[in-house]
Amino acid sequence: MRTGKSVSVLPTDRRRLQALIKDRNAAQKHVWRAEIVLFTADGVGTNEIMRRTGKSKTCVWRWQERFMEEGFEGLLRDKTRPPRIKPLGGEAAERVVALTLSDPLGETTHWTGVLMAKASGLSVSSVQRIWRIHGLQPHRIRQFKLSNDPHFVDKLRDVVGLYVDPPAHAIVLSVDEKSQIQALDRTQPGLPLKKGRAGTMTHDYKRHGTTTLFAALNVLDGTVIGRNMQRHRHQEFIRFLNAIEADLPPGKVVHVILDNYATHKHPKVMQWLHRHPRFTFHFTPTSCSWINAVEGFFATLTKRRLKRGVFRSITNLQAAINRFLDEHNEKPKPFVWRVDPLRVLAAIERGKQALESVH
């Protein structure tokens, strides 16, 4: 201790210092600061404190003085120091944001961190920090499609009405086809998942043909009627409608929700519909396949059975799809529409206004 200075520790502070030293979860810098104070209070000399704690003389003196000035709480706080690099001003952030909202130079499609750093004269980390603060993500893009159907509102209410309040004693089916499902086989076997390493799969593959899955989702109970066919023409669609007719209980009215694919409106399909009066077709608005409930089933099928699957023949692929259908129908869940149609209409209106303002 420097001449003319002494450290006195109250009993309460001593208990707190000792508890801090014994705490296994305490930061080590707090532990050796407390040791310096306790050694000083016990009369240990500066050189001995330096030897026991492994700290320099100026460091020992600093924390002795900090404890005398601020007490126990002063040991837990580091003094702030001016940054080595001058902080960015608001003008730099505004410049980066303005540049990000404009098109990059030349034929570059979007801004990257490196491009923005060169254009703004800042570091890449500074640019990324500004983007993060302002919620800007120029590397991402979301796809959209606004329906131009003149009867959009009527069709939306018709389809959503079937989901929310289906007719009594009727069956509501969401029907569509998933075409061009490829039977892909990998050129080499992949490695399994293990700790510290993701599973592997070769980027190249062998094609063994394609199949088309026709599916009809029963909105009320969640079961799916599915058939694999080689093509998706009106002939196959009529065969699938016949399969639906044979599978459903007789005498019940059937409401079928379809998209606007030309096959669904083929004259021979309309003739089939005329011969089966208990069937009624409800077409979704154009460019609105997301309204069709069976699309969710297709997404689940792709994610859980097709995307990482290895199929050495079309037969192998169709068998896997049929097994997935059987597993789904063992524990089906009714489809529940949760979106308010008014919110959908409001979002469509906002999208149209935004497009008109830009173009």
Q: What is the CATH number of the domain that holds 270?
A: 3.30.420.10
Q: Are residues 45 and 179 in the same domain?
A: no
Q: Is 5 within the bounds of a domain?
A: no
**What are the structure tokens assigned to 52, written together?**
């026991």
Contact criterion met (CB below 8 Å) for 7 and 68: yes
Q: Are residues 28 and 116 in the same domain?
A: no
In terms of Cβ atoms closer than 10 Å to its own Cβ (0-12, 13-18, 19+), residue 217 is buried
* Per-residue H/E/C for 212-242: EEEEEEECCCCCEEEEEECCCCHHHHHHHHH
The answer, yes or no, to whether residue 76 has pLDDT greater than 60, is yes
Helices 90-100, 124-134: crossing angle, 10 deg rounding: 80
- Strands (DSSP E) found in the chain: 170-186, 205-218, 224-229, 253-258, 279-283
Q: Nearest Cα to 183, choosing from 280, 305, 95?
A: 305
Going by pLDDT thresholds of 50, 70 and 90, the confidence category of residue 347 is confident
How far apart (Å, rounded) are the C-alpha atoms in residues 24 and 245?
72
Q: Is 164 within the bounds of a domain?
A: yes
Contact criterion met (CB below 8 Å) for 272 and 249: no
The answer, yes or no, to whether residue 43 has pLDDT greater than 60, is yes
Rg (CA), the chain: 35
Q: Are residues 105 and 202 in the same domain?
A: no
Q: Is the dihedral of CA 227, 233, 236, 237 positive or negative?
A: positive
Q: Degrees (nearest 5) of the Cα angle 144, 288, 277?
A: 175
Q: Are residues 124 and 34 in the same domain?
A: no
Q: Is 48 within the bounds of a domain?
A: yes
The answer, yes or no, to whether residue 254 has pLDDT greater than 80, is yes
Q: Are residues 72 and 95 in the same domain?
A: no
Q: How many domains does the chain have?
A: 3
Contact criterion met (CB below 8 Å) for 178 and 295: no
pLDDT, mean over the chain: 89
Name the least confident of 20-34, 76-90, 131-145: 76-90
pLDDT for res 359: 63
197: DSSP letter: B
pLDDT for res 1: 54
Place of tokens 């309309």: 270
Q: Are residues 45 and 117 in the same domain?
A: no
Q: Is 325 within the bounds of a domain?
A: yes
Going by pLDDT thresholds of 50, 70 and 90, the confidence category of residue 148 is confident
Q: Is 61 within the bounds of a domain?
A: yes
* 224-229, strands of its sheet edge to edge: 224-229, 205-218, 170-186, 253-258, 279-283
Going by pLDDT thresholds of 50, 70 and 90, the confidence category of residue 45 is confident
The answer, yes or no, to whether residue 156 has pLDDT greater than 60, is yes
Q: What is the mean pLDDT of residues 317-321?
A: 95
Q: Are residues 110 and 195 in the same domain?
A: no
Name the least confident of 146-150, 167-171, 195-199: 146-150
Contact criterion met (CB below 8 Å) for 272 and 278: no
Q: Is 53 within the bounds of a domain?
A: yes
pLDDT for res 3: 58
The answer, yes or no, to whether residue 122 has pLDDT greater than 80, is yes
Going by pLDDT thresholds of 50, 70 and 90, the confidence category of residue 5 is low
Q: Is 171 within the bounds of a domain?
A: yes
Contact criterion met (CB below 8 Å) for 35 and 25: no
pLDDT for res 262: 92
The answer, yes or no, to whether residue 106 has pLDDT greater than 80, is yes
Going by pLDDT thresholds of 50, 70 and 90, the confidence category of residue 96 is very high
Q: Are residues 56 and 110 in the same domain?
A: no
Q: Are residues 45 and 97 in the same domain?
A: no
How far apart (Å, rounded) are the C-alpha atoms in residues 116 and 200?
35
Q: What's the count of helices (H) and strands (E) in the chain, helices before strands?
A: 13, 5
pLDDT for res 235: 95
Q: Are residues 238 and 339 in the same domain?
A: yes
Q: What is the mean pLDDT of residues 59-63?
A: 89
The answer, yes or no, to whether residue 4 has pLDDT greater than 60, is no
The pTM (predicted TM-score) of the whole model is 0.70
248: DSSP letter: S
Q: Are residues 44 and 187 in the same domain?
A: no
The answer, yes or no, to whether residue 268 has pLDDT greater than 60, is yes
Q: Is 139 within the bounds of a domain?
A: no
The answer, yes or no, to whether residue 327 has pLDDT greater than 80, is yes
The answer, yes or no, to whether residue 84 has pLDDT greater than 80, is no
Q: Are residues 39 and 186 in the same domain?
A: no
Give me the domain span that covers residue 16: 11-76
Of the residues 53, 76, 99, the one at which a domain ends: 76
